[in-house]
Structure 1
Amino acid sequence: MKVLGACPLDCPDACSWVVTVEDGVATQLRGNKDHPVTRGALCVKVNRYLEQVGAPDRLRYPLRRTGPKGSGRFERISWDTALAEIATRLTGIIDEFGAEAIWPFHGTGSLGYLQGMEGYPGRRMFNVLGASHHRPTICSVAGSAGVRYTLGTSGGMDPEDLAKSKLILLWGTNPLSSGHHLWKFIQDSGAHLVAIDPVRTKTADRCDEHLAPLPGTDAALALGLLHVIVALGAQDDAYLAAHTEGWPEFRDRIAEYPPDRVARITGLPEDRIVDLGTRIAHTRPTAIRASQGMQRHAGGGMALRLLACLPGVTGDWAIPGGGLHYSTSGHFRLDTAALIRDDLLPHPVRTLSMTRLGEALLETGDPPVKALFVIAANPVGSNPDQRRVIEGLSRDDLFTVVLEHVATDTVDYADIVLPATMQPEHLDVLAGYGHLYLVWNEPAIAPPGECLSTTETFRRLSRRLGLTEPALYDTDEELMRQLLKGHDLDRLRADGFLAIEPGPVPDGKLQFVSARAALAGHDPLPDYTPPADAGPGLVLISAASHYFLNTTFGSNPELRRRAGEPRITLHPADAELRGIADGTPVVVTNARGSFEAIAELSDRVRPGVAATTKGRWAKFTNGATVNATVAERDADYGGGAVFHDNRVEVTARQAPAAP
């Protein structure tokens, strides 16, 4: 039997897949050949997804902690016992501190609208209780806000139109390791390819050019390229007059960034800036692909705001194959309000920021956070300031419930662990943020042990809490129909995917001067915002791994073997200054924390930059990962995270003293 499903992981591709089931067992997983983007191929990570489903370390039964927090010692309990204990603890917390002392902490371990998606499952129950609202700030929020200030929508060009481009700027993105299906459209274009990235990645190796600016200087580079374009008189005056607002003021801002100034800011040779600006000026259509990594710094939102402006100056927004592709999520018109039901809140509640978890657990009062529900997230592995997150999760007075598949670093700090279903075991629907298709996931096999879907878990917990709101007991099929109102659900279910009609880009006139930005306290004109962490040391970039997806697959033995030991790549000149040879065990440190790695010397990183990958688990890396060094600090827009605005020092690790 073949069952159509969808990859739930935090990747732009949202692949359609086909599960082969024999005698109730999933025996094969393949990409759906009929899906226009998946085209029959999955990535090196997801090819091993069925290993995760049947892994020996899969959580199959509810657990109660028996040892100290962090010890990972648990005993098996029944669902009745688990739900009774959770209900008792929550009721006591609400009676003493109020429901806002409860924080439903949702991540992107699954992007399914029913079973994951940053908080949709369980939101109805938490709204009825009056719990704190969770703001998902860890991924793309700063860049999305920046694009909206320019375009009025966070949706950009159709990624499939990259096949029509003549020049493609791959700006801060490495699709061959993260979201590789885009590469097919890039190859089809025959375009001149330019990688803009502080690291010479797998993708940069396949491009015609590679520019390596200093991290966090992308906005200055965009302004410098625009300066060249305008100096050549290559702006599209007709498009500017008909489709934009604020061009005279923005032109004055561009004049402040001549190539010589931009060269000093970015660390790039002036002639490379002039050459690329000239190429953009004379090449239509030009497309820009930028992904989330480049907006994880102090000026990340402003950088994406400027990248959305650039095709407005050249007129590329009016040409198929021109524009900016950041995230297509703004094009999907789903009724998420019907799914969440914020109207069920008894009163307005406070909002807690996902990337300020350590601060919230250790410093927030009135009321303090007394209960934490972790759903589709592994904050010990994924959040900034790992030391503070662990300190907060170690509080004896914090009641923590984790819904999970395997015993992550975060599970080790839970009081109650609830076993969750995985993608082939439940109903769900996804919307890719790297294409324009809804993707259906039909359950293919029965869950192992006593695993429950997230939706069913909250139905049962609502009942145990004695909540009478009828909406809390809607079935998954009812929830799906509420979400997909106006879409052909039957066709989606039969075919496994459904194309959606994108909205206009820009949504109205393109705004070089943004009144909305001004109302939010930002510069109404786009500008360059320098990195916040500008002290001595090396700028550390922690990019996506080829073998892990965030921290998913971090316990897979084969993928851990392929990934090898944690490594940090240094430019030979930086290594020589520190007396570090290739293969030297090192400690990477700053005032926030440290982690261990093996030094790898290469000119793939520019001087002044160090590079590693994210996604490893602390329990497998001597208790700390790269996020031990990252600050709990906000980007310019939306409270976004600043994983790449991070300076560290690297020193050779001292050998243990002889006994």
Structure 2
Amino acid sequence: MDTETPTHCPYCALQCGMTLRPVAGAPVAEVVERTGFPVNRGALCGKGRTAPAVLSSAVRLTGPLVRNAVSGVLEPAGWDEALGRIADALRATRAAHGADAVGVFGGGSLTNEKAYLLGKFARVALGTSQIDYNGRFCMSSAAAAHQRAFGLDRGLPFPLEDIPRTGCVILVGSNPAETMPPALRYFTELRANGGKLIVIDPRRTRTAEQADLHLAPRPGTDLALALGMLHLVVAQGRLDEEFVAARTSGWEDARAGVMAHWPEQVERITGVSVPQLREAVAMFCDADSGMVLTARGPEQQAKGTDTVGAWINFCLATGRAGRPLSGYGCLTGQGNGQGGREHGQKADQLPGYRKLTDPAARQHVAGVWGVDPDALPGPGRSAYELLDALGGDVRALLVMGSNPVVSAPRAGHVEERLKSLDFLAVADVVLSETAALADVVLPVTQWAEETGTMTNLEGRVLLRRKAVTAPEGVRSDLEVMHGLAALLGHGKGFPTDPEEVFEELRRASAGGAADYSGITYARIAAEDGVFWPCPGEVPGSVGPDPEKAGPEPEKTGPGPERCGPDTAEAGQVPAGAVHPGTPRLFLDRFATEDGRARFVAVTHRPPAEETDEVYPVVLTTGRVVAHYQSGAQTRRVAELNAAAPGSFVELHPRLAERIGVAEGEPVAVTSRRGRAVAPARITASIRQDTVFMPFHWAGEGRANSLTNPALDPVSRMPEFKVCAVRVEAGDGRSAGAGD
């Protein structure tokens, strides 16, 4: 690299713009602000600023590793040997136990090209239905609720730039001050413009400290809170009857459940007082416009889909959806959490956000791939169910871009399941805790060493450009899939050039809900990203057999004319014109068959696991500003480790006093699934009946040793955010929650 390269941060779903600049004599590049990119306008958090540190050969994998059958130790090997071992193991497993005995586990950090090709690899080269990814743990509940209510799932139906211009934002279970710091400026600007910010979180986080009103419900009661607030909307005559009649359906059924949750009952469930409920409703409804934004807090629950649905109902009932500067949105977490679930690595989906069970979708995608639609397997297991099946029905596993030993719920059990496999292969940047268990480890390129697209939380498709050259012993994930597919008898159809893969993705997505067919690398580069859906002229066949053109795409999902393009910006697109993309959805109609948003009747139910005399305290989990996800990369950066060297247990002073623990002393937290020990962090900013642990660390401080894998019946999201625990001082003395 001898010139500056505009690109994007490798971490969260903001996908902040940055520029990489070469440094003479240094092993890695340095980050320079990219002030012209609209999402972050130059601002970067510590993770983004230090991202090049992980490019150093001193902290990352630089050659394949294979496990010595005699010593059991991972040893250096050549690429031919490593790929050969994987192919042989996958082939033998299929022959002995069937195609579904082979599993694939992907990640929300993979580029669109990788996620797309991984889904194709699983279903075509392996013939397995057993593929899912860690994005199931991110915002699957919000995605399911989006689909039910709006007919389309995109994290934000509007760009971030709209947030400061709305009248009031309710931020539910999100702490962007630590999880995506450059986004905090949007909420700061909101208040500077006279708008109001309401934060709902059991902890008084750095974000909550910026709010006009902070509500601190007991973890697991967000659904009751939303219902109680909507009850007040109805009781106070604040229902937007004109909007409900003109643009929605199902209100009467939903209303019955709402009216059963009166404020005093909700106060008993949540711990949020009736006066605070009334204040929140007044603040939101008195504003000219408003938004509700949710994140992992309400979503990572065994009732997460219904909880998000209740907040969507709240928006619809108040007329705060499908209108300028109003709506419901989800703050996606992982870097490609949006694009990663759109193009085929999810258990039940095909590219373009098509349903795997839809015959028309199967025919279209099979045509692009040059295969028989009947040869495509059906839906497989969701992420946790797939991990739970390891060593049983699933005997071999390929992992790309994920570290479930740290990130999965009931992590001790998942670790044992991984160890029970006949064969495990992991492709990763670093030797993560999961990679350390593998039979073969493949070193792959990182964000700055490859080109590819990402889709940020706004639905903006971005181009991450190659800026540096990877070490000699490292290959891209696309090259890995190409090599394995060839060894498995599929020499065609798995390109190594990312733009060639994207051209195929364009065709596969055409006509689907997430239509990328009008997006090209050149357009992205020229326009600072393009918002999907963006239909266009379908590119020529780029499937496995260049002479076999697939059928013209059949529309199996809502295109932008059904989602309501921003007519003020895009207008009605004339025939033959280049579609401008869709920054704002639903302004004309929702993406349902009749164009109306759907109320969904929901009712509160308790968490899957309630406190009792043995486990009397509630545990909730989350992130800290210095680290990202399982910490596999950020824990290798000295500056970030200095800022946050390890796990901790955040607890209220009264709870600390009852168990006899002082600041910094070890605290043992025990659930029905495991035990974790970490230093005490004592603060009055958390509820007295609740403790908090960050989930970035392995070892004895691993928070996910404790968490509950109880699954949402719709999204299959585990209940990360609430479980019953016992809290003890280092000497084993325990205490209940009390007052």
TM score, norm. by length of structure 1: 0.90
1:567 is the counterpart of 2:648: yes
Distance 1:338 1:306, change over 3 A: closer
1:323 aligns with 327
Secondary structure of the 1:361 match is coil
Match of 1:649 in 2: 726
Aligned to 2:503: 481
Q: Please, which of 273, 278, 286 is the counterpart of residue 274 of structure 1?
A: 278
How far off is 1:6 after superposition?
2.1
Alignment partners' CA distance in 2, 1:240 and 1:465:
55
Aligned-residue offset at 1:498: 3.2
Deviation at 1:31, TM superposition (A): 4.0
2:617 is the counterpart of 1:533 = no
Letter matched to residue 451 of structure 1 = V
Q: Is the 8 A contact 1:376 1:403 kept in 2?
A: yes
Residues 331-340 or 217-226, more deviating: 331-340
Aligned residue for 1:308, secondary structure, equals helix
Identify the residue that residue 628 of structure 2 maps to in structure 1: 549
Question: For the Cα contact (< 8 Å) 1:19–1:26, is it kept in 2?
Answer: no
- Rounded to whole Å, the distance in 2 between the matches of 1:8 and 1:83 is 27
Task: Please name the residue that 2:711 is paired with.
Answer: 634
Deviations 1:357-395 (A, max 9, x none): 552115x4xxx2121111000010111111111211222
TM-aligned CA distance change 1:646 to 1:208, over 3 Å = same
Question: Which of residues 438, 446, 449 is equivalent to 1:422?
Answer: 446
Deviation of 1:288 (Å): 1.4
Inter-partner Cα distance in structure 2 for 1:144 and 1:448: 38
Provide, for residues 4-40 of structure 1, a one-character-per-residue CA deviation record: whole Å limited to 9, x for no partner: 222233x220222211135796421234222111211
3-state SS of 1:380 partner: helix
For 1:459-470, list aligned pairs within 5 A: 459-468=482-491, 470=492
Cα distance in 1, alignment partners of residues 110 and 97 from structure 2: 32
Q: Which residue of 1 aligns with 2:403?
A: 378
Determine the C-alpha separation between the residues in 1 that align with 2:323 and 2:416.
52
Q: Which of 36, 46, 50 is equivalent to 1:44? A: 46
State the one-letter code of the partner of 1:132: S
Hey, what's the Cα distance between the residues in 1 that align with 2:341 and 2:381?
26
The amino acid of 2:179's aligned partner reads S
Q: Partner residue of 1:91? A: 91
Distance 1:121 1:646 in 2: 34
C-alpha separation in 1, matches of 2:272 and 2:387: 37
Q: 1: CA distance between counterparts of 2:277 and 2:728?
A: 34
1:60-119 CA distances to partner (integer Å, 9 max, x unpaired)? Answer: 0011123899x8x421110011112122222211211112111011122x241123x4x6
| 2:237 counterpart of 1:153 | no
For 1:436 and 1:127, how far apart are their aligned partners in 2? Answer: 28
Residue type matched to 2:728 in 1? T
Task: Sort the Cα spacing of 1:654 and 1:175 in 2 relative to 1 into closer, same or farther, 3 A.
Answer: same
Letter of the structure 2 residue corresponding to residue 389 of structure 1: V
Q: Is the 8 A contact 1:216 1:530 kept in 2?
A: yes
Quote the residue 2:218 is aligned against: 214
1:8 and 1:112 in contact (8 A); partners too: no
Shift of 1:275: 1.9
In structure 2, the residue matched to 1:78 is 78
Provide the rounded CA distance (Å) in 2 between the counterparts of 1:141 and 1:347: 23
Structure 2 residue aligned with 1:497: 529
Are the structure 2 counterparts of residues 380 and 246 from structure 1 closer, same or farther at C-alpha, using a change threshold of 3 Å? same
**C-alpha RMSD of matched pairs (Å):** 2.6
Offset of residue 264 of structure 1: 0.5
- Pick from 482, 493, 505: which aligns with 1:471? 493
Residues 175 and 183 in structure 1, CA contact (< 8 A), matched pair in contact too: yes
Map of 2:389 onto structure 1: 360
Work out whether 1:230 is the aligned partner of 2:312: no
Question: Contact 1:227/1:258 (CA < 8 Å) preserved in 2?
Answer: yes
Structure 2 CA distance for aligned equivalents of residues 488 and 91 of structure 1: 36
Higher RCO (CA-CA < 8 Å; seq separation 6+): 1
Answering whether residue 253 of structure 2 is matched by residue 249 of structure 1, we say: yes
CA deviation after TM superposition for structure 1 residue 126, in Å: 4.7
5+ residue gaps, structure 1, are 515-524
Query: 2:577 corresponds to which residue?
Result: none
CA gap of 1:187–1:297, structure 2 versus 1, over 3 A, is: same
Number of aligned residues: 628
CA contact (8 A) 1:338 1:482 kept: no
Paired residue secondary structure (1:390):
helix
C-alpha distance in structure 2 between counterparts of 1:359 and 1:333, whole Å: 21
Q: Percent identity?
A: 26
TM-score, normalised relative to structure 2: 0.80
- The one-character-per-residue Cα deviations of 1:414-449 (angstroms, maximum 9, x if unpaired) are 00010000011111101101x242210121111113
**Alpha-carbon distance in 1 for matches of 2:607, 2:351:** 40
Partner of 1:142: 141
Distance 1:597 1:297 in 2: 24
Does residue 311 in structure 1 map to residue 315 in structure 2? Answer: yes
Change in Cα spacing, 1:526 to 1:334, as seen in structure 2 (3 Å) is closer
Aligned to 1:518: none
Alpha-carbon separation, structure 1, partners of 2:56 and 2:250: 57
8 Å Cα contact 1:120/1:339 also seen in 2:
no
Give distance in 1, aligned partners of 2:660 and 2:44.
42
Q: CA deviation at 1:565?
A: 3.3
Classify the secondary structure of the residue corresponding to 1:240. Answer: helix
> Match of 1:57?
59
Task: Spell out, residue by residue over 1:447-497, the C-alpha distance to the aligned partner (whole angstroms, 9 max, x if none).
Answer: 1131100001111122222324x2124632211222243224313235653
Supply the AA of the counterpart residue of 1:53: L
Query: Equivalent residues in 2 for 1:429-444 (5 A)?
Result: 429-433=453-457, 435-444=458-467
Which residue of structure 2 aligns with residue 406 of structure 1? 430
User: In the alignment, does 2:664 pair up with 1:583?
Assistant: yes
The offset of 1:356, in angstroms, is: 3.0
| Residues 1:83 and 1:392: Cα distance change in structure 2 (over 3 Å) | same
Q: CA deviation at 1:350?
A: 5.6
